[in-house]
Structure 1
Amino acid sequence: MNKIFHTERLTIRCPQTGDGKAVFEATMDSLDELREFPASLPWATEVPSVDLSETFCRSGSENFAARRDFPFLMLLRDTSTVIGCGGIHRPVWSHAAFDIGWWGRTPYLGQGLITEGVQTLLRFAFADLRARRVQALVDERNKKSRRLCERVGLTLEERPHDCGTDIDAKHRNIKIYSSTNM
């Protein structure tokens, strides 16, 4: 079950062996911005490398095939330019519940590309995985991701999740956005 989606401007597909360099370059273009939200993007606090990015791609492909996790690369259509990553994560098959997550490459933000990708991932979760619930866990300070949640039809739940403090000793809360149907 290796899905590839084509939207008007994107190709969205599972990472593959050999994608590590492109993922690393996209990460490096965005690292400062990604590190602003350690509560929802803890992996961004680590030191990136091509090898780690390649490991992410290889294990992502394996996990996808085993239905343990569903990572995707978002590429400009008909190119190999990674403009972001997203995925349907932490499946709870007994409840048909999943998390959704994403990040966008900084030079490509503000063009609706990540919104286009997240809408596609939500359709995949509900149509192909038969999700009954999909939730996004968003750092309360990440206004762009919170607005994106609203644009794609996710609803803010009342209960924030306390994440304690980040590496700069700033208190962080996670906002939970969800949908039970699409």
Structure 2
Amino acid sequence: MIQPFLLDLPDEFETDRLHIRCVKPGDGAKVYEALRESIDSLRQFPASLPWALEEPSLEASEIYCREGFAKFIARRDFRFLVLLRGSDTLVGCCGLHRPNWKVPTIEVGWWGRTAYLGSGYVSEAVTGLIKFAFAQLPVHRVAAFVDDLNEKSARVCERAGMTFEGLLRNERVDPDGTLRHTRVYATIRERVA
């Protein structure tokens, strides 16, 4: 059985245009600024992103970063900031969530800062994060669960080399009671170059 605490892994990595690093205490202001700018687009999919329904605050963003750092150290969740390489500009957040060390598998999630959407940064970050997962963690599968109406996230999965595995019908519900379908995408270790 895998002992997560014994996993040695870096807390940052780079892609062609991005510096991706673990959230840390003190990052809350940066996350808060990006969230305030992006909250309306994130609220389009409340069944998938229920946390976006809460009003962003500096305090909540700092708690998110501090909890994320603690969970990273405990190897229970892996939250990352996506920064433009060579700068301190936050273009989004991504992470590896809900590890199941018995199989082992993990989920990938992300959100992009509105001002930087359409530039390919989210796809680059997700592709990099999947490569990171297979290189640094003993996982055999990385999965993404995307709202059926979220075409942009579906395209991110496809650009990152994930395979559409199926549709979970009426799997989630919006706050207004509307049932939502969820697309399942995944990639397995043998498919990653």
- TM-score norm. by structure 1 comes to 0.96
- Contact in 2 for aligned 1:161/1:176 (Cα 8 Å): no
Query: Which AA in structure 2 matches 1:70?
Result: F
Q: 1:131-142, aligned counterparts within 5 Å?
A: 131-142=139-150
Task: Give the Cα separation in 2 of the matches to 1:135 and 1:156.
Answer: 10
Aligned to 2:6: none
Q: Which of 91, 94, 102 lines up with 2:102 in the alignment?
A: 94
Post-superposition offset of 1:161: 4.7
Q: Which of 138, 141, 155 lines up with 1:130 in the alignment?
A: 138
Query: Which AA in structure 2 matches 1:128?
Result: Q
Post-superposition offset of 1:135: 0.6
Aligned to 2:3: none
Could you give the per-residue CA deviations for residues 28-54 of structure 1, whole angstroms, max 9, x where no partner exists? 111000000112211111111000000
- Contact in 2 for aligned 1:39/1:173 (Cα 8 Å): no
- Contact in 1 for aligned 2:167/2:181 (Cα 8 Å): no
Post-superposition offset of 1:2: 4.2
Post-superposition offset of 1:110: 0.5
Aligned to 1:111: 119
Q: 66-75 or 156-165, which moves further after superposition?
A: 156-165
Q: Which of 39, 47, 54 lines up with 1:39 in the alignment?
A: 47
Cα gap change, 1:161/1:134 in structure 2, threshold over 3 Å: closer, same or farther? farther
Task: Give the Cα separation in 2 of the matches to 1:88 and 1:164.
Answer: 21
Post-superposition offset of 1:67: 0.3
Q: 1:32-181, aligned counterparts within 5 Å?
A: 32-181=40-189
- TM-score norm. by structure 2 comes to 0.90
Aligned length: 182
Task: Give the Cα separation in 2 of the matches to 1:46 and 1:81.
Answer: 24
Q: Which of 17, 21, 30 lines up with 1:22 in the alignment?
A: 30
Task: Give the Cα separation in 2 of the matches to 1:2 and 1:15.
Answer: 13
- Contact in 2 for aligned 1:39/1:174 (Cα 8 Å): no
Task: Give the Cα separation in 2 of the matches to 1:37 and 1:177.
Answer: 17
Identity %: 49
| Runs of 5+ consecutive residues of structure 2 not aligned to the other structure | 1-8
Query: Which AA in structure 1 matches 2:55?
Result: V
Query: Which AA in structure 1 matches 2:142?
Result: V
